[in-house]
């Protein structure tokens, strides 16, 4: 094992060694120290577990997890691994269950993940069976601590992780609350398979610098972006961030359609501009807010298009991005239509940001021969703090700061 | 004359050829002006969830998608090959038809990498306008909930 394959050459995070995306040992250690370490992994939404017995299967990193709601109304999460031979306990993406039974040898578990039954525990006709000394209580799959914030369900394998509010930080909490301020419902789910290491995507989310450069939809159609102001918030620890665009309060009610589309002489014009119509609802002038939580959670408010995204590693060179689109339960039909129409702007087929699906692959392929070299992450200096404007890579450096703490890669080797 | 299976099959063949031969500027002409077009997956459809990766309620939005693809979006060169099965005609009269047709889309990248990109069914509502068969609605219900990398060329 090559412990030093990933060499950080600076204490600050202005250089990121390319090996961090490809090294197998690093990937294995991430599973232990990050995803099963002192972090909160996003698991699902509270509303996706509507009643007693509802469950969903998901992942903390690559570790399979079952999330359930028990009769006491509380949410529980446990490793989706039978404590007998290790097979998956629950196979479906979601469902309702009184209890869980492994299909292999019918070991059974209650909704809190306790091992409750062993087939032929006493043997058959007095022969075989488990030794009397075997204690079921000591053989449950690993359980996760669960925390729910604004309907977002997080889980942690760590006893040491701080409370969810402390982990998120005050500013991040407020920014989640401004979006998830009333009951939501799921309006669709899609998964995007990304041809790159998971960290290239979470960097992309924190990268406010690339937006107008890679994504040329607005400039091609000569759309005046209403959002003239913007900024980046990095939480105290560095791992969580918000990037946002906003209009002045006074013009917050104006729609993109009214202000955004001009110029009869522009070369390319949208025929149907309703896709850009903004329905003012939160009324604080913030038109776009992309929020990330270490390691792999994103909350998106893009105009009226609301979504949560869950980034999951799949080996060193692939990852999966799970999109769950949301509406508020009290949406009028007109508002729901606005939300659905704006789905065209983001996601795997999004006018504005489909490029985020391929650009990580371009990096992945570009660095194939560069394991000893570094990426340059120096826009805005070496700061990992909040700033006005978007020409900064502060939130990316913040991610690496927290990443290195978890991975024990602080300091220069 | 009643809309029949052969007419719908011929429509689909031309539709697929239009996309696969990169004549995408013609793609919107297969739809009515106030058409519905949506790309989703069977899990969303089964759960009654209305979202789409592409969600369209006018033909102009189809034209815009092609303009954006040609002029704005960044992606690697790629092409599709559609194999479209025989339609199951659920109802038909002179002016309207409802049909469901299976499809397979193979994507070939400029690198030569060829993969099955999507399978699913077209869930269609056809109308006849000026004696021309057109789609009033096409729901592209993909079998898989996973889209690889990005979706830029329509199905």
What residue ranges in A235-304 does DSSP mark as E strands? Answer: 241-246, 286-293, 297-302
**∠ CA A82-A87-A90, rounded to 5°:** 75
Q: What is the pLDDT of residue A407?
A: 97
Q: What is the pLDDT of residue B24?
A: 98
* Length of chain B as a residue count: 155
Q: Which of A356, A271, A218 is nearest to B74 (CA)?
A: A356
Closest approach of chain A CAs to the CA of B5, in angstroms?
A: 31
In this prediction, residues B44-72 reach a mean pLDDT of 97
- Given a contact cutoff of 8 angstroms between Cβ atoms, the answer to whether A287 and A304 are in contact is no
Look up the pTM and report it.
Answer: 0.95
Chain B positions with Cβ closer than 8 Å to A:
39-41, 43-44, 49-58, 60-61, 63-65, 67-68, 71-76, 145-152
Note whether A275 contacts B61, CB cutoff 8 Å: yes
DSSP state string for A53-92: TEEEEEEETTEEEEEEE-TTS-EEEEESS-TTT---S--S
What are residue A23's DSSP bridge partners?
A: none
Q: What is the pLDDT of residue A3?
A: 54
Is the ipTM beyond the 0.90 threshold?
Answer: yes
Residues of B in contact with A192 (CB under 8 A): 146-150
Chain B, nearest residue to A217 by Cα:
B72
Among A47, A308, A309, A344, the residue to mutate for chain B (most B Cβ within 10 A)? A344
Q: How many CB atoms lie within 10 A of CB A139?
A: 14
Mean pLDDT by 10 residues, chain A (413 residues): 75 95 97 98 98 98 98 98 98 98 98 97 94 95 98 97 97 97 97 98 94 84 69 91 80 47 64 90 90 98 96 98 98 96 96 94 97 95 87 94 95 73
Q: What is the pLDDT of residue A388?
A: 85
Q: What is the pLDDT of residue B108?
A: 98
Residue A404 φ/ψ, nearest 5 degrees: -65, -35
Closest approach of chain A CAs to the CA of B47, in angstroms?
A: 9
Q: What is the pLDDT of residue A209?
A: 87
- Given a contact cutoff of 8 angstroms between Cβ atoms, the answer to whether A169 and A111 are in contact is no
Runs of H (alpha helix) within A125-168: 164-168
Q: What is the pLDDT of residue A247?
A: 79
Question: Hey, what are B76's tokens?
Answer: 């690697």
- Which residue's structure tokens are 């961090």? A20
Chain B, nearest residue to A339 by Cα:
B51
CA A154 – CA A398 distance, rounded (Å): 21
Among A92, A271, A306, A349, the residue to mutate for chain B (most B Cβ within 10 A)? A349
Q: Which of A8, A7, A29 is nearest to A316 (CA)?
A: A29
Mean pLDDT of chain B: 97
């Amino acid at each position: 094992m090559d412990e030093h394959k990933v060499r950080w050459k600076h204490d600050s995070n202005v250089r990121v060694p390319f090996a961090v995306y490809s090294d197998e040992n690093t990937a294995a250690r991430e599973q232990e120290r990050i995803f099963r370490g002192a972090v909160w992994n996003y698991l699902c939404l509270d509303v996706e577990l509507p009643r007693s017995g509802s469950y969903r299967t998901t992942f903390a990193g690559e570790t399979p997890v079952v999330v359930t709601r028990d009769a006491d109304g509380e949410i529980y999460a446990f490793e989706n691994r039978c404590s007998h031979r290790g097979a998956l306990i629950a196979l479906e993406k979601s469902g309702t269950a009184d209890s869980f039974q492994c299909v292999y040898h019918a070991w059974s578990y209650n909704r809190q993940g306790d091992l409750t039954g062993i087939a032929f525990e006493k043997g058959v006709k007095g022969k075989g069976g488990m030794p009397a000394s075997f204690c079921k209580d000591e053989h449950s799959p690993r359980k996760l601590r669960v925390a729910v914030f604004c309907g977002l369900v997080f889980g942690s394998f760590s006893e040491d992780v701080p409370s969810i509010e402390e982990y998120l930080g005050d500013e991040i909490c407020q920014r989640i609350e401004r979006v998830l301020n009333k009951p939501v419902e799921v309006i669709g789910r899609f998964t995007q398979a990304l041809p790159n290491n998971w960290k290239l995507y979470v960097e992309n989310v924190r990268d406010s610098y690339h937006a107008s450069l890679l994504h040329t939809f607005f400039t091609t159609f000569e759309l005046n972006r209403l959002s003239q102001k913007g900024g980046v918030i990095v939480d105290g620890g560095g791992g969580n961030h918000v990037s946002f665009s906003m209009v002045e309060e006074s013009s917050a009610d104006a729609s993109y359609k009214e202000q955004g589309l001009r110029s009869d002489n522009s070369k390319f014009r949208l025929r149907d501009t309703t896709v850009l119509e903004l329905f003012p609802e939160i009324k604080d002038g913030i038109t776009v807010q992309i929020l990330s939580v270490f390691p792999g959670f994103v909350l998106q408010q893009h105009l009226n298009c609301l979504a949560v995204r869950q980034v999951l590693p799949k080996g060193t060179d692939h990852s999966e991005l799970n999109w769950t689109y949301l509406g508020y339960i009290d949406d009028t039909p007109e508002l729901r239509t606005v939300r659905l129409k704006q789905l065209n702007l983001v996601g795997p087929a999004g006018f504005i940001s489909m490029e985020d699906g391929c650009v990580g692959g371009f990096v992945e392929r570009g660095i194939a021969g560069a394991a000893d070299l570094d990426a340059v992450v120096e826009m805005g200096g070496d700061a990992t703090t909040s700033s006005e404007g978007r020409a900064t890579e502060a939130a990316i450096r913040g991610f690496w700061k927290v990443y290195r703490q978890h991975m024990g890669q602080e300091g220069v080797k | 004359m009643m809309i029949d299976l052969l007419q719908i099959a011929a429509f689909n063949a031309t539709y697929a050829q239009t996309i696969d031969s990169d004549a995408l500027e013609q793609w919107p002409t297969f739809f009515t002006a106030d058409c519905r077009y949506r790309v989703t997956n069977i899990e969303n459809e089964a759960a009654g969830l209305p979202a789409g990766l592409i969600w369209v309620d006018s033909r102009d939005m189809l034209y815009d998608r092609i303009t954006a693809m040609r002029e704005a979006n960044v992606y690697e060169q790629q092409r599709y090959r559609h194999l479209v099965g025989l339609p199951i005609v659920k109802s038909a009269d002179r002016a309207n038809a409802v049909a469901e047709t299976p499809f397979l889309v193979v994507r070939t990248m400029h690198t030569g990498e060829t993969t099955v990109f999507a399978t699913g069914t077209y869930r269609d509502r056809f109308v006849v306008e000026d004696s021309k068969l057109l789609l009033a609605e096409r729901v592209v219900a993909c079998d898989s909930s996973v889209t690889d990398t990005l979706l830029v060329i329509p199905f």
